[in-house]
């Protein structure tokens, strides 16, 4: 009886991992972005001045971990991402304002097929202020 239960749990676990498997296309994209930093620059029409517009940083696995937006005067917005070590999905995003202070925090839950299920939105003090639920409707036409 215990063996049957262990086999059933192992099969269920393996099916869950297969549903969360990362596609070869995603892995290929990530391989190109390993330890990459992308800077986007703007210049005025006379090409006399130039300023950093956008900065995106990827980790050693090719996942976006930080994105910063700028204007001529400095940072306007910054976002950091944390990933689940098992599913490699984004589990937390922290958004910062132009003074680099936390503006809001988002945490995510996913369905078994890897689609987003819920997004929890928190204030900088950690208080939950809203929940977004994702619903997927496929048209069979």
Residue 36 lies in a domain: yes
The parent domain of residue 111 ranges over: 23-133
Task: Tell me the pairing of strands 90-96 and 50-58.
Answer: unpaired
Residue 122 lies in a domain: yes
Residue 70: is it exposed, middle or buried by C-beta count within 10 angstroms (0-12/13-18/19+)? buried
1-49 pLDDT, tens per residue? Answer: 444 333 433 333 334 444 456 788 877 877 888 889 999 998 888 878 8
47-79 pLDDT, tens per residue? Answer: 788 889 999 999 999 999 999 999 988 999 999
Residue from 108, 88, 104, 86 nearest 96 by CA: 104
Residue 65 lies in a domain: yes
Residue 62 lies in a domain: yes
Residue 112 lies in a domain: yes
Residue 13 lies in a domain: no
Rounded Cα gap, residues 23 and 21, in angstroms: 6
Sequence-ordered alpha helix ranges (H) in 1-141: 2-19, 24-32
Residue 54 lies in a domain: yes
Residue 55 lies in a domain: yes
Rounded Cα gap, residues 110 and 98, in angstroms: 30
Read off the pTM.
Answer: 0.74
Number of structural domains (the chain) is 1
């Amino acid at each position: 009886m215990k063996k049957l239960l262990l086999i059933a749990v192992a099969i269920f676990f393996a099916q869950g991992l297969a549903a969360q498997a990362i596609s070869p296309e995603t892995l290929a994209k990530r391989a190109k972005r390993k330890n990459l930093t992308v800077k986007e620059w703007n210049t005025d029409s006379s090409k006399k001045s130039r300023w950093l517009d956008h900065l995106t940083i990827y980790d050693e696995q090719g996942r976006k971990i930080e994105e910063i937006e700028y204007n001529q005067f400095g940072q306007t917005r910054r976002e950091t991402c944390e990933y689940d070590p098992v599913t490699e999905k984004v589990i937390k995003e922290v958004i910062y304002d132009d003074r680099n202070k936390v503006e809001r925090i988002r945490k995510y839950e996913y369905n078994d097929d890897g689609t987003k299920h819920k997004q929890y939105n928190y204030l900088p003090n950690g208080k939950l202020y809203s929940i977004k639920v994702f619903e997927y409707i496929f048209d069979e036409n």
